[in-house]
Amino acid sequence: MLALSTLEMTLNALKQAPYLQPVLFWLTLGSVLASVVGLAVSNWFLSGSKIWYTLHLSSILFALVFWPYQVISVHHLPLDFTPWVWWGLGMASLSAGFGLSIRWSAVFITLIPVWFVFLRLAPAGGSSSLGRALQDAVYTFLISAVFTALIQMLKFRAAQQDAANLETQAAAAKTATSDAIQRERIRLAAVVQQKIITALEQAATADTMASKKTAAKLAEAAIQKLANYTFEEFDYRETVSVASLFNAIEVAVSSQAPSFKIDSEAIGTIQVPAGVSIALTEATMQAVTNSLMHAGGPEVNRVLVMKANRKGLKIVIKDDGVGFWPNRIHKDRLGFRVMIVRNVESVGGHVNLQTAPGDGTSVILKWDAHE
């Protein structure tokens, strides 16, 4: 839409060039075209900065304000003359809607058509009839207002969806983390149980004074451990085993996204701080959700791989879906920037995103044990 509108505006501008001051004509047209190029590059290859919407709007306003100074002679303008800037008014109004606050966008979406009415009625604007000028202005206003309102509504819905996703993933991560903690408690309980069994076995086979004393000490230690464990509350500053963490994540992902194939392997008995466990679980669940929402339908292959050894752990959430340009993740999209990157980096981890249009997506979470 931007390309077609700009092309139509440029062709009409070149036709009108003989009637306009060359320096001012090329200055105004060049500034508009430069802002359009910047707008396209920013949205297609970068993060879509709002500054380019503002620059595009400003270039059109510049052309409107200085239009009377562009015209060499109002007496030589052809009949039914329409300033070339009119073909850029609709996109300029949309730029106001995308680049400014709702209040200021409403001001400019209203101001631009009104301004153009006075320009069209003036000799430099073609001395149009009031009816024709109003028709052009209303057309510009309705198109820009409707499209802006539609886009703002979609952005509002997207923000609501992001907030709902964040809440859902936080709840899922909390459940998975609680599951990991519960598994860790069971493991610790098994250790206590083994101590008690060892003490009982020692007592049952004790046949000398020395062995009886050893059995008594083992029993006393086991009873003390059992008593302490009974009233022990889990401290989130403590650690959980990587096996408990992987099991909890596997249960959560299998429940919410059964299409994922899961592969996990833990070598050794590495312990993970509870804070790291929470962050990695939240990031994993968010990456899983992103794949389900954006990668494509059930035909997409999705894999969750979790590996750990004494050096640290790595979690890979991968699909062969549609992919995307990483630098086009808008700053308002919180799922990747907050739930994944910020969460993992806050606990000393690292996030690596590998994706491109048509090449699928891989989100790699790493945490080193020494950190």
Q: Which of 165-174, 275-284, 306-315 has the highest mean predicted lDDT (pLDDT)?
A: 306-315
Tell whether the model's pLDDT for residue 233 goes beyond 50. no
Q: What digits encode the pLDDT tens for the residues 109-139?
A: 888 888 988 998 999 988 888 888 888 788 7
pLDDT digits (tens, 9 = 90+) for 141-151: 777 777 777 77
335 has pLDDT over 70: no
Q: What is the pLDDT of residue 137?
A: 80
Nearest Cα to 302, choosing from 280, 283, 290, 320? 320
Domain ranges of the chain: 2-128, 162-368
Rounded to an integer, the average pLDDT of 35-57 is 86
pLDDT > 90 fraction of the chain, expressed in percent and rounded: 27
Q: Which pLDDT band holds residue 19 (cuts at 50, 70, 90)?
A: very high
Mention the CATH class of domain 162-368. Answer: alpha beta
Give the range among 66-70, 162-166, 325-329 with minimum mean pLDDT: 162-166
Whether 202 shows a pLDDT value over 50: the answer reads yes
**At residue 187, does pLDDT exceed 60?**
no
